[in-house]
């Protein structure tokens, strides 16, 4: 831990989060939302981390594609990211990382997804940012199984934009859910099945984004 987070975090009581329901929803529809995955104080700790990382110029423009086809393309996505390293997590990052591991073991128990490794980054979209419609594991060409996004926006209001829109696995024009990026909310979905997009932001939007392989 590098001690970036100094506030005293009041931890969520794990018993109050219904991860069994997340498993049931994933199983029936390939997506799930859980509104109190992190407490507001836990979100605040991560936002402080992001602010410190921005000041230190450690948040970097994200790219699209992988390996030889990697490119930075503001037409597709406009976020800045910081990849977490398990050996160098702050207190706030550690809590979120552990909570995602609890989700992992719960889902493995219910759904036999065989989730093993977690990769995750902190994410910032500036005002007027977006992420065009895409699939995280296009045609099964990457090993990503489950996509997870935890939102950190303490004062998000309707009209602020930056909603996550999910589309049907068999019809990418059919909207099936719109998720407000409110602090504490977890959205997760099967990386191969669900086309999704981030609508244009009207103000700064913070999140922690992770994938299980
Ligand atoms: C992504 C993504 C959605 C969001 O990073 O691949 O789709 O709500 N993010 O931030
Ligand atoms: Mn995505």
pLDDT score for 7: 40
Q: Please report, for residues 20, 38, 142, 150, 172, the alpha-carbon distance to residue 116 in angstroms, rounded to integers and kept in the order given.
A: 19, 22, 14, 19, 28
pLDDT score for 12: 62
**Ligand in nearest proximity to the CA of 79:** 1
For ligand 1, the distance from its centroid to the CA atom of residue 177, given in whole angstroms, is 14
For ligand 1, the distance from its centroid to the CA atom of residue 3, given in whole angstroms, is 27
189: Cβ below 6 Å to ligand 1?
Answer: no
pLDDT score for 63: 80
For ligand 1, the distance from its centroid to the CA atom of residue 137, given in whole angstroms, is 12
131: Cβ below 6 Å to ligand 1?
Answer: yes
pLDDT score for 42: 96
Return the closest-CA partner of residue 1 out of 82, 89, 83.
89
Question: Which contiguous run of DSSP H or E holds residue 152?
Answer: none
Q: Render pLDDT for 59-114 as a digit per residue (tens, 0 to 9).
A: 999 887 654 555 666 678 989 999 999 999 999 999 999 999 999 999 999 999 99
Return the closest-CA partner of residue 58 out of 4, 139, 138, 22.
4
Q: CB of 12 within 8 A of CB of 39?
A: yes
pLDDT score for 3: 42
Strand partners for 157: none
96/91 Cα distance (integer angstroms)? 9
153: Cβ below 6 Å to ligand 1?
Answer: no
pLDDT score for 4: 41
Give the contacts of 72 (CB within 8 A, at least 6 positions apart): 61, 62, 63, 64
For ligand 1, the distance from its centroid to the CA atom of residue 95, given in whole angstroms, is 21
Which chain residues have CB less than 5 Å from ligand 2, an ion? 136
Q: Domains plus CATH for the chain?
A: 24-61+78-212 (2.60.120.620)
Longest CA–CA separation in the chain, Å: 46
124: Cβ below 6 Å to ligand 1?
Answer: no
pLDDT beneath 70: ranges in the chain: 1-16, 65-74
């Amino acid at each position: 831990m590098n001690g970036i987070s100094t506030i005293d975090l009041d931890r969520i009581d794990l018993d109050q989060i219904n991860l069994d329901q997340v498993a049931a929803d994933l199983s029936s529809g390939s997506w799930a939302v859980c509104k109190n995955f992190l407490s507001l104080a836990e979100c605040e700790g991560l936002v402080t981390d992001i602010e410190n990382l921005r000041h230190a110029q450690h948040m970097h423009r994200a790219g699209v594609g992988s390996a030889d086809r990697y490119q930075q393309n503001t037409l597709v996505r406009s976020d800045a990211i910081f990849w977490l390293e398990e050996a160098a997590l702050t207190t706030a990052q550690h809590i979120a990382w552990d909570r995602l591991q609890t989700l992992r073991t719960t889902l493995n128990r219910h759904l036999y997804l065989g989730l093993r490794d977690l990769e995750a980054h902190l994410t910032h979209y500036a005002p007027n940012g977006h992420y065009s419609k895409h699939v995280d594991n296009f045609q099964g060409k990457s090993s990503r199984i489950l996509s997870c996004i935890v939102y950190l926006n303490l004062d998000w209001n309707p009209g602020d934009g930056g909603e996550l829109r999910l589309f049907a696995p068999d019809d990418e024009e059919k909207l099936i859910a719109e998720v407000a990026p409110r602090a504490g909310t977890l959205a997760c979905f099967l990386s191969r099945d669900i086309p999704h997009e981030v609508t244009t932001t009207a103000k700064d939007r913070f999140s922690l984004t992770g994938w299980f392989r």
